[in-house]
Structure 1
Amino acid sequence: MIAIGGNRLTAGDFFKVLYEGEQVQLQPQALETVKANYDFLRAYSKDKIIYGINTGLGPMAQYKISEEDQRQLQYNLIRSHASGSGEPFSEDLARATMLARLNGLMQGSSGIHSEAMELLTLLLNRNISACIFQRGGVGASGDLVQLAHLALNLIGEGEVWYKGKLTSTREVFAAEKISPLQIHLREGLSLMNGTSAMTGVGIVNLIHAKKLLNISVKLSAITNELMKSFDDHFSLELNAVKHHRGQQQVAAAMQKFLGDSKLVRKRPEHLYHRKIEEAVFTDKVQEYYSLRCVPQILGPVYDTLLNTEKVLEDEVNSVNDNPIIDHRREMVYHGGNFHGDYVALEMDKLKTVVTKLCMLSERQLNYLLNDKLNQRLPPFINLGRLGLNFGMQGMQFTATSTTAENQTLSYPMYLHSISNNNDNQDIVSMGCNAALITRKVIDNTFDVLAIQCISLMQAIDYLKCHARLASSTHKLYDEIRAIMPAFVEDEPKYHALQKVKQHLINRSSSLVIS
């Protein structure tokens, strides 16, 4: 069980809930705090003007709401803002949003009835996931539209993911004997007025970006190995004098991966400890940058992932709605903790470094496929007849096109504010947009890495170097060849590409970052 409330929820906890079937449990002491917070707000708000309880919302906050209309106000808020469009969140994104919202509310400063947390917990544990649409949120009063769809499901309306398909919430609740959430005081506003959609999507992005980094380091290492690169550019001695943690970690990972390779060369043996007579060297003195500068290129990716993890975990463990209910000081504070700039900026940084990782992969792929550059492999690593067969030529177009798309998608959403809501929300974060675009960039990059991986396997078969490979390289070779045998004749590759891509996504082993 993952305990919710009191303990700091981590990206690792999200992984366990989303991908390993771990269940969640509300900490009793934290739940008591939630109840005390709600009881205080109910009593405190009777003779005072408290936003979202006895006032209208947004630019209509100047309108007083009578006591008999206050519950209806919350239902109206949920139903009116359940207006998203586009594709629904995949189930992992929906569940990540639910878990993020649950954890934020369990901080005990949102004035919400405990019934909402208990229902969210029940749905998570029974694998009933909210139907949340991608388009709609601007990330300023939180993810209003996305979280309105979550709230709509909690009150028993709309559709939910159930047994792999979208089904009427009413039908699912009836089948599972679940009672919909009742509005007590401000459940609509408390559920909607937060950053949980962008943060939940962001944490899923982080999980997959870590996988991309690990895969990229491995494929970069194999590329160096097959090209018989010198090992000094990922040596401890060279990288220790550059004081960046990420660079040193990537270099150390490449050393570890290639530790027992018989292909990687040591510079002294070839260029230092023998007399060189030729005027033009047959050996390259230094490799191309896409091979030689891997620690310097992927190091910033590593460092960015560490910072992204800290920002997202800070956000998911925060009270990120408005107003903030402080029952200990007996005060209600109005402000903007729902503003998503922290997450939006971090997602833009994440997609930028993932795009750079993708560009590195595409350049390494180009090196492998261009015989004039590598001088070791046939054009397009063609194992058939040159001229008649095409090898990896078709797949390279896909990699190039996909990399170009990532470059375009990497324009920052953080700088894309548009005033709306009668200019009440006059500067916004676009945080959920940023997170969803980052997800697209990550998915694209898995395609490019899968193509690079297939190319490397073809190169191994052409070079017939299996006995000299590092044991780590041999292990990956065996895994990929179990999915996609070596090919000589031309045939459609799109099914095999998706199988290799899925294998890379599902691999849980880590090398650089866990």
Structure 2
Amino acid sequence: MAVVINGKDLTVEEVIRVCRGMEEVSISPDAEKRVNKARAYIDKKLDEGAIIYGLTTGFGKFANVFIDRDETTALQHNLIISHTCGMGEPYEQKYVRAAMLLRCNALSRGNSGIRFSTIQTMVDMLNAGIHPQIPCKGSLGASGDLAPLSFIALGLIGLGNVEYKGQIMPAAEAMEKEGIRPVELAAKEGLALNNGTQMMTAVGVNVLWDAMHLMKVADLAAAMTAEALHGITKAYDPKVHELRGHKGQIESAENLRTLLKGSKNAMRVQNTKVQDPYTLRCVPQIHGASRDAIEYVYDAVSREINAVTDNPIVFPDDDDVISGGNFHGQPMALAFDFLKIAVSELADVSERRAERMINPSLSEGLPGFLTLHAGVCSGFMIAQYAAASMVSENKIYDHPACVDSIPSSGNQEDHVSMGTTSARTAAMVLDNAEKVLGIEIATAAQAIWLREKIGESKISNLAPATKAAYEYIRTKSDPIDQDVIMHDELVKFDEMIKDNSLLEVVEKEVTLK
């Protein structure tokens, strides 16, 4: 079943289905009517000789240069080829597909003045799996993602390279194979195609989606560490968290209670201690704050994926064309900087929990560095180094890109958002965080195994949810008695998190928030 777009009610979940699940896209009949109405209005203004930015004028600093009617097609063509200034490695396919979908959705709102046939051609490319190659660097995030979106438009007009069925080839060649005719841009169309926030939002919505799953993984990791370190679950009592009232904190505490229900290791009261360190006792407060931040980003992104972000904007019913600033990426820049900080904190506290399990001074009687062969074997000593390295690296990426601005276009565009950098660095932070949480889970699984090995506990003492996680882990990675190539083992945990398989196993046992 195709995802039907109309510029108004596309969801985050539908974006993921299209960009990762290759679901097809169609445009609603109502959207087609609105698009045709706006285009007819643009043609009328052209016939009247109206002076409209980007339609009968140049761009940016050239806004005061009038363009003759017979040069408007060349104006749009030149806009696209001159703005393809991106550099660096190409974006992943999922980001390109998301950007194409979001651009089509925005244009389907009927306020951009583009021809319906042009939008339909991009939809046809998306459905055929023709993905323009878009370099990942070069966007200031205002006027939107000019360079990245220009590469999408470049493919639309049959120029540049695309990825098609696993191969890189000229756009014209791929389009010919699918029977798709390249577009010859009409007045206003180039500007409608490359002026917007769709590239930063495409990257950000993918990071957001994975972050939403990582919230649950973080709670699972903490629960497994609590099993390994005989955590005190009384700290997760709902009365405590309701008194503070933060939704994310309440949900995280509920998840921990759910995950640890039935455990004979992590219990409400422990005879050996009165309270846990912050990294266990304050998990709901720490994870919960990240949950609330991620929810804020979800709301902001849900609005942006249905936003008209090009310029000028056409209001045919009001006989009006307005040069505004909806292309400015600041709403997304702030959101994605917030997102990466929230995700980074999940990794930050995770590394501290892993350290407690390997440190014989903190690990509640576990063998040092989780090996029974101290000295000749290093066990999990350097796994913690790797986690610490990525946590520190995230602190560099966490610097908010949105606080920087560099003027462009002869100082006409004198404040930019850097939102695409916010989204790209958020993706880097996410990747590191997934790996760090994987290291914690690997460490917890080793610690749980050692508890049984030294006769302190049994695997059967685990809660049903954590036991399901542990048993699934052991189908992928064996306990480590003698030192092994640790990279090979840790990659398995990274993969279990990235493909959601570990979380899926747990959620067959319990329902997590």
TM-score, with length taken from structure 1: 0.95
**Superposed structure 1 runs of 4+ greater than 6 Å apart:** 510-514
Please state if 1:460 is matched with 2:448: yes
- Distance (Å, rounded) in 2 between the aligned partners of 1:25 and 1:513: 34
Given that residues 258 and 512 in structure 2 are in contact (C-alpha distance below 8 angstroms), is that contact kept between their aligned partners in structure 1? no
Q: Deviations over 1:59-79 (max 9, x none)?
A: 011111111111011110100
> Which amino acid counterpart does residue 187 of structure 1 have in structure 2?
E
Could you say which residue in structure 2 is the equivalent of 1:472? 465
Could you say which residue in structure 1 is the equivalent of 2:358? 369
Count of matched residue pairs: 500
Could you say which residue in structure 1 is the equivalent of 2:3? 2
Could you say which residue in structure 1 is the equivalent of 2:52? 50
Q: Deviations over 1:447-501 (max 9, x none)?
A: 1111111111111211122101111112211222222212222222223322321
For residue 412 of structure 2, give the secondary structure of its aligned residue in structure 1: coil
Please state if 1:331 is matched with 2:320: yes
Could you tell me how far 1:374 is from its partner in structure 2?
A: 1.6
Could you say which residue in structure 2 is the equivalent of 1:34? 35
Percent identity among equivalent residues? Answer: 33
Could you say which residue in structure 2 is the equivalent of 1:165? 167
Given that residues 130 and 163 in structure 2 are in contact (C-alpha distance below 8 angstroms), is that contact kept between their aligned partners in structure 1? yes
Could you tell me how far 1:7 is from its partner in structure 2?
A: 4.6
1:223 to 225, 244, 247: 225
Could you say which residue in structure 1 is the equivalent of 2:482? 489
Could you tell me how far 1:6 is from its partner in structure 2?
A: 5.5
Given that residues 134 and 152 in structure 2 are in contact (C-alpha distance below 8 angstroms), is that contact kept between their aligned partners in structure 1? yes
2:237 to 235, 238, 253: 235
- Distance (Å, rounded) in 2 between the aligned partners of 1:496 and 1:182: 53
Given that residues 250 and 512 in structure 1 are in contact (C-alpha distance below 8 angstroms), is that contact kept between their aligned partners in structure 2? no
- Distance (Å, rounded) in 2 between the aligned partners of 1:117 and 1:493: 50
- Distance (Å, rounded) in 1 between the aligned partners of 2:115 and 2:329: 25
For residue 95 of structure 2, give the secondary structure of its aligned residue in structure 1: helix
> Which amino acid counterpart does residue 200 of structure 2 have in structure 1?
M
- Distance (Å, rounded) in 2 between the aligned partners of 1:105 and 1:357: 37
2:106 to 101, 104, 107: 104
User: Structure 1's 396 and 165: CA in aligned 2 closer, same or farther, altered over 3 A?
Assistant: farther
- Distance (Å, rounded) in 2 between the aligned partners of 1:7 and 1:336: 19
1:359 to 348, 352, 368: 348
- Distance (Å, rounded) in 2 between the aligned partners of 1:34 and 1:318: 15
For residue 262 of structure 2, give the secondary structure of its aligned residue in structure 1: coil
- Distance (Å, rounded) in 2 between the aligned partners of 1:513 and 1:264: 18
Given that residues 59 and 424 in structure 1 are in contact (C-alpha distance below 8 angstroms), is that contact kept between their aligned partners in structure 2? yes
Please state if 1:20 is matched with 2:13: no
1:77 to 76, 79, 88: 79
Please state if 1:349 is matched with 2:338: yes
Q: List alignment gaps of at least 5 residues for structure 2.
A: 453-457
> Which amino acid counterpart does residue 411 of structure 1 have in structure 2?
H
User: Structure 1's 405 and 108: CA in aligned 2 closer, same or farther, altered over 3 A?
Assistant: same
> Which amino acid counterpart does residue 399 of structure 2 have in structure 1?
Y
Could you say which residue in structure 1 is the equivalent of 2:116? 114
2:381 to 379, 388, 393: 393
Given that residues 211 and 505 in structure 1 are in contact (C-alpha distance below 8 angstroms), is that contact kept between their aligned partners in structure 2? no
Could you say which residue in structure 1 is the equivalent of 2:455? none
For residue 321 of structure 2, give the secondary structure of its aligned residue in structure 1: strand
Could you tell me how far 1:327 is from its partner in structure 2?
A: 0.8
> Which amino acid counterpart does residue 28 of structure 1 have in structure 2?
P
Could you tell me how far 1:513 is from its partner in structure 2?
A: 7.4
- Distance (Å, rounded) in 1 between the aligned partners of 2:353 and 2:166: 38
For residue 244 of structure 2, give the secondary structure of its aligned residue in structure 1: coil
Q: Deviations over 1:154-182 (max 9, x none)?
A: 11111112122322212211222211122
1:431 to 419, 426, 446: 419
Given that residues 343 and 430 in structure 2 are in contact (C-alpha distance below 8 angstroms), is that contact kept between their aligned partners in structure 1? yes
Given that residues 210 and 513 in structure 1 are in contact (C-alpha distance below 8 angstroms), is that contact kept between their aligned partners in structure 2? no
Given that residues 208 and 298 in structure 2 are in contact (C-alpha distance below 8 angstroms), is that contact kept between their aligned partners in structure 1? yes
For residue 88 of structure 2, give the secondary structure of its aligned residue in structure 1: strand
Could you tell me how far 1:419 is from its partner in structure 2?
A: 1.0
Given that residues 232 and 238 in structure 1 are in contact (C-alpha distance below 8 angstroms), is that contact kept between their aligned partners in structure 2? no
- Distance (Å, rounded) in 2 between the aligned partners of 1:340 and 1:109: 19
For residue 61 of structure 1, give the secondary structure of its aligned residue in structure 2: helix
